[in-house]
Structures are given as structure tokens and as C-alpha cells.
Structure 1
Amino acid sequence: MTISTPNQLELLRELEPTVESGLNQHLSIAKDWHPHDYVPWDEGRNFAALGGDDWAPEQSRLSEVATAAMITNLLTEDNLPSYHREITASFSREGAWGTWVNRWTAEENRHGIVMRDFLTVTRSVDPVRLEEMRMAHMTTGLTSPMDGSFLHSVSYVTFQELATRLSHRNTGQACADADAERMLDRIAADENLHMVFYRTLAGAALDLTPDAAMDAITEVVIRFQMPGLSMPDFRRNALLLATHGIYDLRQHLDDVLWPVLRMWKVFDRNDFTAVGERARDRLADHLEELSRKAVRFEETRERLRAREGARA
């Protein structure tokens, strides 16, 4: 059965008041901050090209896990030009839509600025390797695995912003460094506000066109991938982060997917036709499978930790 839905232009027109209201609310509560205020500049010194010393591993005060998490989070932020392109294509450059997209991009850009400055000044990671990875990641870029429609895009960014918030906050704790945690908490606060904007917008779309939005949400959840998938060493680092509780399947399910789905009242709604009901049933089945996978991963992780503890 074909899903009946307004076309893209009709959706953007109908939802523009929601965008304008959300933008005004965001601007009223978002706090301006400056990247330079979060970098311990007094720790900085020249590298060899300016007569100092180049990076050496013993200069880093971060653990292997914290280093992998920092690099993964920074490279994810670095790919902002791709995200801007994708979201502009799905939204609009006109009116409140364009104002939001540009404001969101400007706020997101601060995240990459402050993280790179922090890591370079504190010599927490190899700056040469970091630049090589940035070049490789941005050259590959990002192309959405979805169809590029507005409904898919707004559903995806809602979940992704919340996932990124969680990853930043957990990374800050893993760093065991007060300055790093303060910086990443500041970034996470931005990501949370961005999530709230997109969650509200997607919720309005769900009210406007329930069947089509439910189908898009289901497809996004089933096919969800973090935007850093194409970066060098991503799979290795993702496994490392999952193993040490920075971002794992249980957190993805319990702290990202379920809070948003409950806010949208996905499983309490009665405004779907048979098409929307089928999409919701697919979603429910997928969530149950994710829960089973999370349990299996947690059991495997506990066995691994037990073996490591016995060896220690």
C-alpha cells in the first residue's frame, strides 16, 4: 500500500511555524560561549617547526580509551561541511529554515574548534596523525544512507544529536581530567539543545503525516549508523568505546532510542492506518532484537573483563 504524505515543499511550508517557534526558543535559552575559554593555553609550547619539540606518546595524559574517544568525537565534528550539505538539501535555505540551519552549523563548528585546540595544546594526541585522519575523513565525506527526504533526515538527526551528547559526556568522564570534562560537558549541552529542536520538529511532522513519519522513523532506527562510520579506525575504536562503556548498544537503546520514542508517544498513538501500524510493528520487533543483542554483548563483555581481572 502506498503511503499518503504531503510532498516535500508542502511539509516544509506546513512546518515552518514550528521551525520558527523552535528557533526562537533555542535562541532564548542557548548560552553563548567561546572556545578559547576552555583551552589551558599555558600548557602549550612550540613544535619542532618553530624550534620546539614534536609530539611523543609519553606527553599524552589520556588513556587509550579516552584518546580513541576524543579522536572519534573530534573527527565526527570535523565532517560538519558534509552534514551542512545534507541537512540543507533536506530542509531549506529560506526563511526560518535557513536561519536555523546556519545557526546550527555555526554552533556545531565551535565543537571542532575547541576540541582540536585542546588536544593540540595539551599534546594529548599525535597532531600529525590527527591531521591525516581529518583529511581522509573529510575527503570521503558523508552521504546519507537514507533517501534524503525531510522525514528521514529530521528523524535521524534527532537520534544522532542525542547519541553525540551521550558520547561527549561519557568521553569527558573517561578522560579523568577536569579541563577535558568541562569542555565536553559544554559541547554536550549544545548537542542536547539541538536534539530538543529536532525532536520537536519531528514530533510535529509525526502529527502532520503519521503514517509517513512512522515509516521514516522505523527505517532510521533499523538502519541507524553513527556519522563517523567512514573515518579511519572507526570500527576498532567503536568496539573499544563499547567495551569500556563510552557508547554501547545498551546505551543506544535505553538512553537514545527509547527516550525519544517515548516523547513522541510512538507506542501510544492511535492515528495510524494499517500502513503506520505495520511500520510500528517492525520497529517494535527491531527494538526487541536490539535488546537481545545488548544482553549478549554485555555478557561477552563481562566474561572478557573477568578474564582480564584474573590475568591482572
Structure 2
Amino acid sequence: MTLSSDHISLKDTWTDARLLFALEEVVEKELNRHLAVAKDWMPHEYVPWSEGRNFDGPLGGEPWAPEQSKVTDVGRTALVVNLLTEDNLPSYHHEIATLFGRDGAWGTWVHRWTAEEGRHGIVMRDYLLTTRAVDPVELENFRMQHMSEGFEFDHPESMLHSVSYVAFQELATRISHRNTGHHSGDPVCDRMLSRIATDENLHMVFYRNLLRAAFELAPDRTMCAVRDVVVNFRMPGHGIPGFERAAARMALGGIYNMRIHHDDVLQPVLRFLKVMEVDGLGPEGQRAQEEVGMYMNGLDAEARKFDERLAARLARQAARKNG
């Protein structure tokens, strides 16, 4: 896409309002592309309802016990984190609707995205409760606590920061769901999370392409936003009770860790946007570009150390098992 010289001449005066207006055409194009390739699916078709039975309580069913769960320990941890992340959809909707608006192509996308994301929480909760994969009481207590705290973008005042964040975050969520499925130990769970991951990938493509257009309009501002997001990235579920401990388990279990974050989330988006090749930047943009490069080099080094520690840990476990 080539933007008009009128837009380029305004590169030093871009405000969020100007950017929202200038990107409206891109949003409409990406929305139409998304609707053409997205496939509707029914959450109820991915839940093994025949496995369900009453829990204890008013219906006098059977209390939950860990041995009833067929998923692995790391799968159970990741499923809870992933579902609680999806549960905060009302806060996410509020954030993007406030930033992007509810009118025109922007508003149509905001509502469509919210409707599609809603399926993820529906099918995951139905699966978890029907198969007794997790403790339902703990899950509900966590949900109440997490949703009561809400969610806010780290840079709520900046539309470009928000677009940058979701471009990376949607891919991170896709990777987390996909790897959780692979490590769950249940083919039904794997199939369900694969379906969710397909949605998350399409959402990533929408925001990634929007971010590419923003680079053409306002390269310096966009580069600074990308730098801030990459260097300070946090998953949207960071406020979940016990998140740090759960994240550590997921890292050791190969679901989401520094190596995955570097290789499978940050690098693909940065490479697609050719962030390190953007030229014509002013001093601030150039500095931000350099900082992205330095951060990625440092993260890669840290990931190598993590890989070595994880390999040593797995070797010790194997030795104990075989000894």
C-alpha cells in the first residue's frame, strides 16, 4: 500500500485522531479480508458433553478431585491461565473500543473481534468443566478476582502503542494456546485449542498489517511504540492470581518461555515489518530502532542461558528416572 504525499507531509504532526482517520481505509480493507477468510465455528461441537456429570452442591453430585483430570499437570496450569486471560474480554473490549471508537470500520472490527474472542472463553470453560480438567471452585474464585481487577493497556493514552501491543500479544496468545494443546495429553483439548489458535492468528495478521500501514504514515512514532512494547512486553494475564508461579511452570513445560517469546513471537512480527530496515527515521526513531536491536540481542542471550539450564534440568530428571 502506498500512502499519499499529503499523509507523509504530516508525519511530524500525527495525533491519535489523525492516525485513526488516516488508517480507517486500511482497517476497512483488513476487515473485509478477515471476513473473507475467517470460518465460523460452533463452540459446542468441540466439547465432549457425554463425559459430563454433576458436581457437588445443590445438585448433590461428585466433588472434584485431581485424579479426575485427564490433562497433564502443566496442561492444567496453562489451561487455567489461558482461560482466565480470555475471561477478561469485557476489559479488553472497553480498552480497544475507547481507543478505536465504535463507529465506521474501526467500530465494526472492534465488535467483530470481541464476538470472535467470546467463543474462546465459552468453549474452554465448557471443556474444562465437562471433562473435570480443573478445580471448578478454584477456577471461579480466580475468575472473580481477576475480572474484578480488570485490565488496562500499559500505554492507555496511545493508539499506536495499543496497536503495537496487540500485534505481538495475539501471536503470543496463539502460541500459548497451541503449545498448551500439544502438552495437554488430551487429543480433544488439542483440537479445541488448535481451533482457538487459528482465530488468534487471524487477529494477529489484522493488527500486524495495520501496524505496517502505521509505519508508512508515522515511522518515528510507530518505531518508538514498537520499542516500548517489545522492551516492556507483558502478557495480558499478568494480573492472574499466582501468575508468576504458573508462568514458571509453563516456561519449564515448554509452553511459553523466553526462547519461544524471542523466536516465535517477537522475531516473526519484527521480521515481517522489517523493523530493523526502516530508513528515513529522525533521531528519536533511530534511537528506538537501535534499542529494539539491542534488546533482541540481549533477549537471545538470556534465552540461550535458559535453554542450557532447562536442558540440564531435563537431563537430571532423566538420570533419576533411569537410575
Question: For residues 47 and 156 of structure 2, what CA distance do their matches in structure 1 show?
Answer: 40
Structure 2 residue ranges without an equivalent (≥5): 1-10
Structure 1 residue ranges without an equivalent (≥5): none
Partner of 2:138: 129
Partner of 1:272: 281
Q: TM-score, normalised by structure 2?
A: 0.94
Give the partner amino acid of 2:171.
Answer: L
Question: For residues 156 and 198 of structure 2, what CA distance do their matches in structure 1 show?
Answer: 30
Give the partner amino acid of 1:263.
Answer: F
Identity %: 55
Partner of 1:24: 32
- The secondary structure found in structure 2 opposite 1:267 is helix
Match of 2:154 among 145, 150, 164: 145
Match of 1:10 among 11, 18, 29: 18
Residues 5 and 209 in structure 1, CA contact (< 8 A), matched pair in contact too: no
The Cα shift of 1:274 comes to 2.1
Give the partner amino acid of 1:247.
Answer: Y
Partner of 2:197: 188
Give the partner amino acid of 1:46.
Answer: N
Match of 1:293 among 293, 302, 306: 302
Question: For residues 237 and 147 of structure 2, what CA distance do their matches in structure 1 show?
Answer: 10
Question: For residues 32 and 275 of structure 2, what CA distance do their matches in structure 1 show?
Answer: 27
Question: For residues 143 and 194 of structure 1, what CA distance do their matches in structure 2 show?
Answer: 19
Partner of 2:42: 34
Question: For residues 51 and 64 of structure 1, what CA distance do their matches in structure 2 show?
Answer: 27
Partner of 2:76: 67
Match of 2:220 among 211, 233, 240: 211
Question: For residues 72 and 147 of structure 1, what CA distance do their matches in structure 2 show?
Answer: 23
Q: CA RMSD in A?
A: 1.1
Partner of 1:172: 181
Q: Deviations over 1:197-235 (max 9, x none)?
A: 000111101110000000000000001000110101110
Give the partner amino acid of 2:197.
Answer: A
Q: TM-score, normalised by structure 1?
A: 0.97
Question: For residues 141 and 13 of structure 1, what CA distance do their matches in structure 2 show?
Answer: 29
Question: For residues 46 and 5 of structure 1, what CA distance do their matches in structure 2 show?
Answer: 61
The Cα shift of 1:30 comes to 0.5
- The secondary structure found in structure 1 opposite 2:276 is coil
The Cα shift of 1:5 comes to 4.2
Q: Deviations over 1:171-215 (max 9, x none)?
A: 001112111111000000000000000001111011100000000
Q: Deviations over 1:73-119 (max 9, x none)?
A: 00010011111111112211111100100000010010000000000
Question: For residues 150 and 82 of structure 1, what CA distance do their matches in structure 2 show?
Answer: 16
Question: For residues 146 and 9 of structure 1, what CA distance do their matches in structure 2 show?
Answer: 16
The Cα shift of 1:271 comes to 2.5
Residues 86 and 148 in structure 1, CA contact (< 8 A), matched pair in contact too: no
Aligned residues: 310
Question: For residues 25 and 185 of structure 2, what CA distance do their matches in structure 1 show?
Answer: 44
Change (3 A) 1:147 1:105: closer
The Cα shift of 1:147 comes to 4.3
Give the partner amino acid of 2:160.
Answer: L
Question: For residues 159 and 111 of structure 2, what CA distance do their matches in structure 1 show?
Answer: 17
Q: Deviations over 1:215-269 (max 9, x none)?
A: 0000000010001101011101101111111011111111111111111111122
Q: Deviations over 1:136-182 (max 9, x none)?
A: 11011112222431100000000000000001000001112111111
Residues 70 and 185 in structure 2, CA contact (< 8 A), matched pair in contact too: no
Question: For residues 143 and 107 of structure 1, what CA distance do their matches in structure 2 show?
Answer: 20
Give the partner amino acid of 2:94.
Answer: R
Runs of 4+ in 1 over 3 A off after TM superposition: none
Residues 168 and 185 in structure 1, CA contact (< 8 A), matched pair in contact too: yes
